[in-house]
Amino acid sequence: MKNKFITFEGVDGVGKTTQINLFLKKIKENNFDYDLFREPGGTNLSEKIRDILLNNDSNIADITETLLFLTARSDLVNKKIKPKLHKGDSYVVCDRFLDSTLAYQSFGRGIDLKLIQDITNIVVGDAIPSTTFLLDCNIDTSLNRLGKKDRMESSGKDFLLKVKQGFLELALLDKNRYVIIDADKSISEIENSIWTQFKNRYLK
């Protein structure tokens, strides 16, 4: 049976937050229960790690950054996500998850992909999303949408291009889970595309 774990991915500035809010509005209108989490974050420990990771004053080595993201995820998965999935009575929606670490820290930072995958397997276990909505748009569009940048968002265009390509390559490896959404379209068009895919996957 397909679980109710849905994640949203994409480079910074792609419009994830807007689309998650619109998606959850529709979820509520249809009287479905849901739990929303963000990464890094979602627990007291993970939120503290988030503050370190996104602080522009933090000087963090790439491997340290990777391990901090994975530590935050481990706490969130074990304390919040797995218990919710085990109950099975609500949709679990997460703003970023395992694919972000693969795209940002491996394709972006150059950390060994297999190393991250091996640790990720330990961290998440069977808590794998059944659907990942990948919002994909032109990098210049993403950069123009960003306001005040945090540490990760300040990594530059070349870095984000690597991350974008990483997401697309990951999507090719898991076509059943990934749904690529053209985020260069209007907000309403993107919203409708996501909802149509959701209905096709969970309500039929």
Structure confidence by residue, pLDDT tens digits, 35-52: 999 999 999 999 999 999
- Give residue-wise pLDDT tens across range 90-127: 999 999 999 999 999 999 999 999 999 999 999 999 99
What is the number of alpha carbons within 13 Å of residue 39 lying toward its C-beta? 27
pLDDT at position 36 is 98
pLDDT band at residue 160 under the 50/70/90 scheme: very high
The full set of domains in the chain, from first to last, is: 5-202 (3.40.50.300)
Kindly tell me if the per-residue pLDDT of 148 is higher than 80: no
Q: Which segments of the chain are extended strands (E)?
A: 5-9, 34-38, 91-95, 131-136, 178-182
- Residue 199 CA from chain centroid, whole number: 20
Burial 151-161 (b: 16+ CB within 10 A, else e): bbbebeeebbe
What is the number of alpha carbons within 13 Å of residue 150 lying toward its C-beta? 9
**Amino acid identity at 124:** V
How far apart are the C-alpha atoms of 39 and 58, rounded to whole Å? 18
Mean local confidence (pLDDT), 152-179:
92
How far apart are the C-alpha atoms of 30 and 91, rounded to whole Å? 12
How far apart are the C-alpha atoms of 40 and 87, rounded to whole Å? 23
For the whole model, what pTM was predicted? 0.95
- Give residue-wise pLDDT tens across range 57-67: 889 999 999 99
Residue 49: other Cβ atoms inside 10 A = 21
Residue with token string 């790439």? 62
Q: Which of 12, 3, 2 is nearest to 135 (CA)?
A: 12
Q: Write the DSSP string, 87-140.
A: H-SSEEEEES-HHHHIIIIIIIT---HHHHHHHHHHHHTT---SEEEEEE--HH
Kindly tell me if the per-residue pLDDT of 195 is higher than 80: yes
